[in-house]
Amino acid sequence: MTSSFSTLISSSSPSSPSSPADRLGFGAMQLPGRWGGPVVERATAVAVARRAVELGARHIDTAAFYFSATERANDILREALHPYPEHLTIATKIGPLRTATGEMYAEARPEQLRGLVEENLRQLGVDVLDLVHLRVGRLKAVGGVPIGERFGALAALRDEGLVRELGVSNVSAEQLAEARAIAPVAAVQNRFGVLDQADGALVDACAAAGIAYLPFFALGGGHTGLESENLRTVAERHGATAHQIALAWGLARSPAIIQIPGTSSLAHIEENMAAARIALGEDDMALLEQPVASAG
C-alpha cells in the first residue's frame, strides 16, 4: 500500500480517462456485520475482501467506526490483505464519534482527530494512511457549518507524514471550497447515485478540478430494492441486475467517480465487480437520468 491516491485521481480526470474497471473499488462497511443484524463470519468477510482485490479493486474505503459487536472492518482488511499490494489504496474516514454500541453521538473536535488517525493506523497496521476523509454530519450534506478548523487539524497531520492525501465527506460546495483554501483536497465522498442525483453539480465541479468523487449509497441507500422502472428497463436490455446498472451508470456519469459498493457476500462481490464490463449507451444514460418519481 505505497501508491498515492493521486494516481487514481489523475487517471480519473477528464483529460486522462481511465477504464471503468480502474474506478470500481470496494467499500468495507458491511464486512463486520451490523448491530442487531446477522453475524458475518470472519472467514467469509476475509474472503470477500480478498476476492474484491482479486477481481481488480484498486481502492478500498473503510473506517475505524465500521464495527459491530464482534468485528471491526479494519481488522478484517488487515487479516485479508496485509501486507497490502502496492497498487491498492485504502481510504479511511474520521469525524464521527460512536458509542460502544455503534451510535454516532457527536463530531470529533480538532484536537481529537489525531487519536482517530492513530486508531486507523494501528488497526490497519501501517505507518501512513493513503487517504483520510474528514466526515461532516450524517447522511446529508449540511451547508453553513464551517469545517476549516477541523480540516486544518487534519492537514497538520498530513504535514507530519501520517496521511498522504486529504478528502472530505458529506460536504456542500461551500465546505469543499473552505477546505481547498487550507490544503489540497484529493477526494470528496458524498451521497450520490442513479436514484439520488441531487449532488450532480458537485460531481461535475470535482471532475473539472481533478478531484475524485466517491459516492456512498450508489446502490440506492434508502430506496428499497432500487425501485425505478427506468432502471429495470435498462437492466433488462443488458441482461444485468439493477445494482450492476446503478454502478455502471456512475462510472459512465463522470470520469471523476470511483465507485465503492460494499457487501459481505461472495456472490454479491462477483456481481458488483462485473458491473465494470457493462457499457451503457446514450439512450440508457438519458433514461436513467430522468427524475425518479417519489413514492406515494
Quick: pLDDT tens for 93-123. 999 888 877 787 788 999 999 999 999 999 9
Mean pLDDT over 121-145 rounds to 85
C-alpha cell at 178: 473552505
Domain ranges (residues) in the chain: 6-225+254-277
Alpha-helix residue ranges (DSSP H) falling in the chain: 6-11, 42-54, 73-81, 113-124, 148-159, 173-180, 200-209, 229-238, 242-253, 266-274, 282-288
Give, in order, the Cα–Cα distances in Å from 277 to each of 153, 234, 245. Answer: 41, 15, 10
Q: Would you place residue 226 in the very low, low, confident or very high pLDDT band (cuts 50, 70, 90)?
A: low
The predicted structure's pLDDT at residue 142: 57
The predicted structure's pLDDT at residue 202: 98
Predicted TM-score (pTM) of this structure: 0.91
The predicted structure's pLDDT at residue 7: 59
Mean pLDDT over 232-260 rounds to 97
Residues with a catalytic annotation lie at: 66
- The CATH number of the domain covering residues in 6-225+254-277: 3.20.20.100
The predicted structure's pLDDT at residue 194: 94
Residue 144: pLDDT above 70? Answer: no
Residue 30: pLDDT above 70? Answer: yes
The predicted structure's pLDDT at residue 17: 46
How many beta carbons lie within 10 A of that of residue 18, not counting itself?
Answer: 18
